[in-house]
Amino acid sequence: MKKNQDNTIDEKKYNKLIVILSIVIPVAVAALFGIKIDVELPVFLPPIYASVNAFTALVLVLAFIAITNKKIKLHERLMKFAIGLSILFLLMYITYHMTSDSTAFGGEGAVKYIYYFVLITHIVLSIAVIPFVLITYFRAITNNIEKHKKIAKITFPLWLYVAITGVVVYIMISPYYA
């Protein structure tokens, strides 16, 4: 990594990359939703990617426990695994929506409002968490631990909420899959 005169990492370079990725990822996902491929997948992906979300939540909690117990290497490995799981989820999610029609929620009354609240907050925060994850990861790999800790206190609950609500959304809509 390139260092400047005062021996700090050139954050501007990484900040530009973080901004670009934080915009490109959600825009690409939205654009790919507009593409429909007439292919029948050999498996039904929603329960699989919901399970990946559940596993991500578990890994995030285990990583939190690891760092609380000063097991830094374990924390680092778990966090890299959580990022990998999130990428896997995203790839499966995009694949499913490119090959399948959206499923309408069929619930009525209060459960309908709960579902849409959970769904909307899940979607909004899944977009908002992208720069937080990237900044938190960048600060960790550049050994800027104090700044890493500060932003991780925000990133962890956001990311955990997104992972858990992804499972909740799946459970709530699963009775309505065709």
Q: Measured between alpha carbons, how far is 96 from 139 in angstroms, rounded to an integer?
A: 33
Contact between residue 11 and residue 141 where contact means Cβ atoms under 8 Å apart = no
Contact between residue 121 and residue 165 where contact means Cβ atoms under 8 Å apart = yes
**Tens place of pLDDT per residue across the chain (178 aa):** 444 444 355 677 888 999 999 999 999 999 998 899 999 888 999 999 999 999 999 999 999 999 999 999 999 999 999 999 999 999 999 999 999 988 999 999 999 999 999 999 999 999 999 999 999 999 999 899 999 999 999 999 999 999 999 999 999 999 998 7
* CATH superfamily name and code, 45-176: Cytochrome c oxidase, subunit III, four-helix bundle (1.20.120.80)
SS3 assignment, position 9: strand
**What is this structure's pTM?**
0.89
